[in-house]
A and B are shown apart, each in its own frame.
Chain A
């Protein structure tokens, strides 16, 4: 990936991320966060994580942010009133963020293992096609022979072969979450106990 694209998408991610905290209007914040997540998805794709990038757009920008906008508009939240933000909180937050960023920068400055480019750690479809677990799956083998990275297929293979139980646990979590939302959203009728 050309360098300028990385800087462009990093700037989109961080710039709109900053706008989330600066905007007074919650709708502006939500839309900025959606754009920030699109930039982040582009960064994922630049790291050859095509599946995760698409999931990021589908789940976060598509579902989560729509849910946020839906709630903001449902509750009809107005802009924060003219009253100024708590000065101590603002100073504390900014100092915390600056210190954390400087700390990350300082650590990365001496992190020699991190000074590698994607070219130095190039993916190799030829080497990958000789792997035992990959050799059993024909579609993956075909993609590797054609020189393309079968990202979603490898993802599926990893999830179902190594993390099958975890996948079911996540499914159960989503079910419990759905039931919880229904219970929480139920309007209590007077004189009747909740649930």
Chain B
């Protein structure tokens, strides 16, 4: 049977995948996608905990609200982040993180 632990494991594995992507890939857009994946993994854990914390016959809707806010913030973050990437591409003609070294000591 499917338990809360199954969902939490999927959430953890998805987060690990996103983390690996952020470390391994050099294309800044892919790194950004992996960040979204990690946010979604956290959402899955929240919804899972909410469903298994039944109070008065209903799941915990405070967690659902938090997920709703996370998704909204992620959408705003994507819009601003992609605008930054476009601005970066204009000056560098590249989206590889290796080429962005100006702030290295």
Contact = CB atoms under 8 A, between A and B. Distances in A.
Contacts of B58: 123, 128, 131, 134, 149, 154
B55 to A, nearest CB: 9
B21 A21 contact: yes
A130 B56 contact: yes
Given A85-B24, A104-B12, A158-B65, A49 B50 contact: yes
Contacts of B82: 67-68, 71
B103 interface: no
Interface string A56-98: 1001100110011001101101001000011001101110111
Which residue, A1, A101, A115, has most C-beta atoms of chain B within 10 A? A101
B89 to A, nearest CB: 5
A37 B2 contact: no
A139 interface: no
Interface residues of B, number: 72
A141 interface: no
A52 B2 CA distance: 20
B23 A67 contact: no
B24 A89 contact: yes
A10 interface: yes
Interface string B25-51: 111011011101100100110011011
Q: What DSSP secondary structure best describes chain A's contact surface?
A: helix
A178 B65 contact: no
Contact of A72 (B15, B29, B57): B29
B53 to A, nearest CB: 8
Nearest to B95: A77
30 contacts: A3-B1, A6-B2, A30-B33, A33-B37, A36-B37, A37-B40, A47-B48, A49-B50, A49-B51, A49-B59, A49-B67, A51-B68, A59-B74, A67-B82, A71-B86, A72-B29, A75-B85, A77-B29, A89-B26, A93-B24, A96-B20, A97-B17, A97-B20, A100-B15, A104-B13, A108-B9, A119-B1, A125-B57, A170-B72, A181-B80
Interface of A: 1, 3, 6, 10, 13-14, 17-18, 20-21, 26, 29-30, 33, 36-37, 40, 43-44, 47-49, 51-52, 55-56, 59-60, 63-64, 67-68, 71-72, 74-75, 77, 80, 85-86, 89-90, 92-94, 96-98, 100-101, 104-105, 108, 111, 113-119, 121-128, 130-131, 134, 149, 154-155, 157-159, 162-163, 166, 170, 173-174, 176-178, 180-181, 184-185
Given A85-B25, A177-B77, 12 more contacts: A43-B10, A48-B51, A49-B50, A60-B74, A64-B36, A77-B95, A158-B61, A158-B62, A173-B76, A177-B80, A178-B79, A184-B83
